[in-house]
């Protein structure tokens, strides 16, 4: 995964991210822009899942783009 590429497309995929990760707020998504580690961490915290599972969810989501 090239997160720099994803960062450039973030505004395009933000709507899909809100659908996929509905527990994240708009402010959180903006704060996380281009910061993959923080994105995984917030998904982990919001969904109460292990880091590995959060990484997989984020990676699977980002592979679409």
> What's residue 45's pLDDT?
93
Query: What pLDDT is recorded for position 1?
Result: 55
Nearest to 43 by CA among 32, 8, 10: 32
Q: What pTM was estimated for this model as a whole? A: 0.64
3-state secondary structure of 25: coil
Residue with tokens 């984020």: 58
Helices (H) and strands (E) in the chain, counts: 5, 0
Separation CA 7–CA 52 (nearest Å): 21
> For 13-50, how does the pLDDT look when each residue is reduced to its tens digit (9 = 90+)?
778 888 888 898 888 887 777 677 888 999 999 999 99
Cα separation, 8 vs 62, in Å, equals 12
């Amino acid at each position: 995964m090239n997160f720099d590429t994803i960062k450039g497309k973030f505004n395009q995929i933000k709507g899909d991210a809100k659908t996929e990760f509905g527990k994240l707020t708009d402010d959180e998504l903006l704060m996380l822009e281009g910061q993959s580690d923080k994105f995984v961490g917030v998904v982990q915290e919001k969904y109460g899942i292990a880091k590995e599972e959060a990484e997989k969810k984020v990676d699977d989501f980002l592979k679409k783009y």
